[in-house]
Amino acid sequence: MDTSSAALDFDRQLTQWRHRFHRAPETGFEEHETSAFAAQVLEGFGLEVTRGIGGTGFVASLSCGDGHGVIGLRAEMDALNIHEQAPERDHASVRAGKSHACGHDGHMSMVLGAAKLLCERRDFNGTVRFIFQPAEEHGKGAKAMIADTLFERFPVDEIYGVHNIPGLRAGAIATRAGGIMASEDNFVIHINGRGGHAARPHMTIDPIVIAAEIVLALQTVVSRSVDPGVPAVISCTELFTDGIRNAIPGQVIIKGDTRSYTPDVQRLLESRMRSICEGICAAHGAQCSFEYTHEFVPTVNTPECVATAIAAATAIVGAANVDGNVAPMMISEDFGAFLQVVPGNFAFIGNGAEGEPGATPLHNARYDFNDAILPIGARYLAEISRTKLPVVHSHDHSQNQRKV
């Protein structure tokens, strides 16, 4: 088989894996079928797999030569509770209300592809661990694996991850030293007023009017309480009432989240939001309950690992397609929890620029991972292993593999 045929077969294999994951999405801590299939693929490469880490998570390790360096390549397995609206796709989700609308199906396939390349070539000296984690979307999976002694049982010197980004040209790779993705905090505001007949509002304490004032007032926190040079976001995303069309409700619940990069800003947002909610409710004679929880920590890349990622990306896609100082984004990722324990790097890979395939936003009911970037991502992750771990020069690579 010539090289071009082998590459075509590799690309097709990655696409087959990705489409299989896409058809059968599973949400956080329920990725039993997804986890089993990915583990079986790695076992088919001759690797030993340790299952049940932090729930449905697992680890497979590949060692070559006598090197002592150890790196981790991470993939997340969970889907979203979003009903896919793409019936024309042959690989569309068969599970109502669930879809891989964030591209985790593609991330898993890229890590499997990197494992395939490394197992076949064995052209590194050290150990690579393939870490498949559950429940990224709600920020629980990485913490669960860490709490389940992931790094005590499977220590790594560094860890690397990647996420597709619609809006960036397909196959381009971007990263940065320091903060690359924000923290996420969630809030719930309970407004207790006094319900009544819609025709007699003067007999009520209308929580809808109060909620409207609160939503608008919260928009002033970032614009008037946070330094303009410091990134922060407050988003009210859900509103619920116990009313009906001809009745003013007695209760309203507002839910949403905030994004920021430092504990000081997190504390400022929480304090100002609480004061505004309680103050507006008090002014109207209503009662207020304010809940604020910390869900995701910021994702902060280690400079030395960023250099490794840039070198690997440049080797695969060329310097013109690598951005080593991308602007920080306000999205969140629980990879940040791993980076609080071990050094590492997280990078973005373009899914498609505006107007091109792959540009549909993440978490959209018609989003789909761009299959064209699968081999690029797989080769990039494999190249990180070669870049970080000295290459073994041996005529008999079959003697260089050992399982850990």
Q: Quick one: which H or E segment has residue 7? A: helix 3-23
* 163 annotated binding-site participant: yes
Catalytic residue, chosen from 78, 105, 257, 334, is 78
Active site residue 120: no
Among residues 306, 312, 360, 331, the alpha carbon closest in space to that of 103 is found at 360
- Which three-class secondary structure state does DSSP give residue 277? helix
* 102 annotated binding-site participant: yes
- Rounded to whole angstroms, the Cα distance separating 204 from 198 reads 9
Residue partners of 170: CB distance under 8 A and separation at least 6: 350, 351, 352, 353, 356, 357, 358, 370, 372, 373
Active site residue 78: yes
Catalytic residue, chosen from 76, 105, 136, 368, is 136
Structure token pair of residue 321: 């397609």
Structure token pair of residue 275: 């004061």
Please, what sign has the CA dihedral across residues 243, 247, 251, 256?
Answer: positive
* 137 annotated binding-site participant: yes
Structure token pair of residue 288: 């207020």
- Rounded to whole angstroms, the Cα distance separating 400 from 385 reads 15
Residues in the annotated binding site for Mn(2+):
102, 104, 137, 163, 363
Residue ranges at the known binding site: 102, 104, 137, 163, 363
Return the active site residues.
78, 136
